[in-house]
Structure 1
Amino acid sequence: MSIDKKLLKRLKALYVEDDDNIRNELSSLLGNFFDTVYTAANGEEGLALFKEHQNDIDVVLSDINMPKLTGIDMVKEIRKTDAKVPVMFATAYSDNEYLADAIKLRVYDYIIKPIDIRRLLTVMNDLANVLYQEFMIEQQHKELEKYKDVIDKNNIVLKTDTNFKITYVNQHFCDITGYDQEELLGQGFDTLIHKDVNSTVYKDLTKAILNNESWNGKIKNQTKFGDTYVVDSYTIATLSDAGEVTGTISIQKDITSDVNQKRDIQKALIKDKSEIFLKGKESSGELNAIINELNKRIHDLQKLMKASDLEKDRLVYNGEKLITENKKLQRELAYALKNAAVEEDTSSTLKLNKSNQDLKMEIKKLNEEQEALKDEMQRAVLQTKVNLETKIKELEKQNKEYLFQIESAEDVETLTEKLEYWKSKAKEGAKRVEQLERALLNTGDKNIMSRLFK
């Protein structure tokens, strides 16, 4: 078997030997392998050293036949204060008397002198391995104790037998439920479960445990005073060395506050949802009224645009009519002037001059009327254009405001489509005005039109 030097280095030994040469030589050798080696020349010194360093010594290696106090007597005294420390004897004697005493003192092993160093190190290596395993088990036990303390302080712990009769409850359980431990010992586990809980929950739990399976779930329980509390329970079976189910252990976390908080949040959400629905319904009614009002305004605007179109048509017709009459008078005037130049008769000339004078007066009057009509037509067209543009801008602004309100209400998509439809209608009306203006420009006198729309 190989020697684990790291394990041996964990050991601190007491070596008792009355032979100085053997003690010095072996202690020096053991010092290369052990952490510490305490040495004594007889049983009396060895006992004193052990008492002084009792908590620091892992193993005792001693001769048997020594002055002042034998190895056997020394170990008898050691066992009065420490029943577990391993002891090994190194002796030249192997008779039954010493072996019997060694067995009574629970000696770990013995080495026959002269000592075989390899044999000694092998035995010490086995001992170091055993001590290390015991150390690890002790450490794990301490950690488990810490975990148990943490669990006991923060969780409910219950234990039952195979009949699910309670055999243990921790203090945390008593603080929550109001029960004393004595009141529950021997009571059925199901006596804690609230009457509202479906019986299949308890059946599923017992079935899983008897099949050596864990069970996890939420259970609604009741306290000693009838109050309700909810736990998140994790239950497993306890087993014997033979692997048979001996009972259960249940770790439960009180989640009553979490459940109540969740229920309160759900209630608040339902309330908020109802209020939002009612407000949305009211907003929908208001928006419908706004849309109806908007539709009415759009209808009125369409009527106004239609009347404007008719007025424009009338103005265009009168303008064209005046232009035609003006051209006709100009032709008549030119003809009359031509005839007047070749007439020899003075009276005819005078008549013609008078006629021409009257004609000029009439032309001047017509020109004045034409200018007045132009001014009137220009003012009417400009005023109509300004009114329409103002109406369109106001309508677009209102559309944006209503669209913003509609987007925050239910059925936003439908309302938005309606607004976009009427908005497009308004734009078509504006385009219609522009088309009429272009038509007026194309059909009327260019000089007059350029003066009207410059």
Structure 2
Amino acid sequence: MFNKEFLKTLTVLYVEDDDSIRMSLSNVLTKIFSKVIICKDGDDGYKKFYEYTQEKNAKINLIISDINMPHKNGIEMVTDIRKLDQDIPIVFTTAHGESEYLMESIKLKIAYYALKPINTAELLDNISNFCMIEYNKTLVEEKSNQITQYIDIINTITSIFKVNTLGIIIEVNDLTCELLEYSKEELIGMHIDSLLQQETFDNALKLIENKDLIKIKLKLKSKSGIIFYMNTTLISQKSQYTQDITSFLYICIDQTEDEIEKQQTMQKVRKNIMQQKTKESNLLKITKDLENEIERIKASSISSKDSQLILNALAKEKQKVATLNTQILHYEEKIAKLSQQAVKIDENEKAKKIEEMRRLEEYANEKEKFQSKIIELQALVSKLEAKLKKKIVD
């Protein structure tokens, strides 16, 4: 059974000089295929093929053509078309008496002969089969091209080298040579351990034993001594016949910048930890010194009763100073208010304002007295504090 969905994707060039046959088969073909280009003879067929594929740059997937036609027969038409396209599948529709064209058809790589009268179902089955084969070939080519592109991309971002079972390098890509500053000739034949730092080929063999691949971290050293940090996939390659390991493939991605940044970050972290520990040590020392000072004061000759009396006296005197300061602020506000009022004295209120001025003078005198008292109290507080400190020292 032919693949209807697949045939609907194809464009067909149909060439037939017999009007009735052309009309009959073209009605069937237009229902099956995506597009059918109908031609009346070989000359018309070639011109439309050229126009469609060369001038319009479009794709014709299949040619169905009669052989015996006027102006240009099927053999002549296909001979010209093969100069433009070597691979397009071609079906000849022919009568029994035209077998003399068989050898020429073989040379032209004709895909199928359909004998007249045409069995449409059989024709479509065969078309579906060989067109599918051509389609699969196209897919394989596309996939192959994609794989080639992927390999090219991989070669630009990864270092790849292959070693034999002894660790001798047998293949390298260009990026490996560029990174490690060696030519291919220098690297091929070199033992992989000559490039490795810390890790060895023997260690890798132990890790990959009974496995197809492993992921490891490598440090590679260039010719000039530069160290590169590599995230590496190590793949064992086996013989398809014996399944014995024949070689190993190293696929390395450069992580040097990330590794250096990570190391710098760790250094900063360690530095911060050390600084924090130093701060904690200093705080512990200060705390210890304070504890020792407290113990020394407790053990001094001054009695707890004397200390409490002095502290109480200091507290009382400081409270007095605070109270006097509050009163002074009150008087200053009064003086400021009265001063503002005195500026606006009216002749009719002169006597009243004189009395207020007298009160203003009294407030000013009181302020001076309080300020003198504060000075005395502050001096007393200073003496008491000095006395307390002296006793603590003694």
Look up the SS of the partner of 1:31 in the other structure.
Answer: helix
More helix by share: 1
Deviation by residue 1:326-365 (Cα, 9 ceiling, x = unmatched): xxxxxxxxxxxxxxxxxxxxxxxxxxxxxxxxxxxxxxxx
Distance 1:15 1:188, change over 3 A: farther
Look up the SS of the partner of 1:39 in the other structure.
Answer: strand
1:157 equivalent in structure 2? 160
Letter in 2 for 1:91: T
Q: Where do 4+ consecutive residues of structure 1 move more than 6 Å?
A: 384-387
1:256 equivalent in structure 2? 256
1:421 equivalent in structure 2? none
1:87 equivalent in structure 2? 90
Contact (CA 8 Å) 1:190, 1:202: kept in 2 or not? no
Whole-Å Cα distance in 1 between the matches of residues 152 and 113 of structure 2? 43
1:212 Cα deviation from its structure 2 partner: 7.0
1:110 Cα deviation from its structure 2 partner: 1.8
1:215 equivalent in structure 2? 214
1:58 Cα deviation from its structure 2 partner: 1.0
5+ residue gaps, structure 1, are 309-379, 391-454
Alignment of 1:66-77 (within 5 A): 66-77=69-80
Alignment of 1:17-96 (within 5 A): 17-54=16-53, 55-93=58-96
Deviation by residue 1:396-438 (Cα, 9 ceiling, x = unmatched): xxxxxxxxxxxxxxxxxxxxxxxxxxxxxxxxxxxxxxxxxxx
Alignment of 1:377-396 (within 5 A): none
Letter in 2 for 1:265: T
Whole-Å Cα distance in 1 between the matches of residues 216 and 65 of structure 2? 60
1:234 equivalent in structure 2? 233
1:437 equivalent in structure 2? none
1:119 Cα deviation from its structure 2 partner: 1.0
Alignment of 1:432-443 (within 5 A): none
2:130 equivalent in structure 1? 127
TM-score relative to the length of structure 1:
0.59
> In the alignment, does 2:267 pair up with 1:267?
yes
Letter in 2 for 1:233: T
Over the matched positions of the two proteins, sequence identity in percent amounts to 28
Whole-Å Cα distance in 2 between the matches of residues 71 and 30 of structure 1? 19
1:179 equivalent in structure 2? 182
Letter in 2 for 1:288: K
> In the alignment, does 2:101 pair up with 1:98?
yes
Whole-Å Cα distance in 1 between the matches of residues 15 and 165 of structure 2? 55
Look up the SS of the partner of 1:32 in the other structure.
Answer: helix
1:196 equivalent in structure 2? 198
Letter in 2 for 1:84: D
Deviation by residue 1:130-170 (Cα, 9 ceiling, x = unmatched): 34433443443344344323322222233456766545433
Whole-Å Cα distance in 2 between the matches of residues 240 and 91 of structure 1? 51
| Number of residue pairs matched by the alignment | 314
Larger-gyration structure (1/2): 1
Contact (CA 8 Å) 2:12, 2:33: kept in 1 or not? yes
TM-score relative to the length of structure 2:
0.67
Letter in 2 for 1:235: L
Letter in 2 for 1:10: T
RMSD (Å) for aligned C-alpha atoms: 3.6
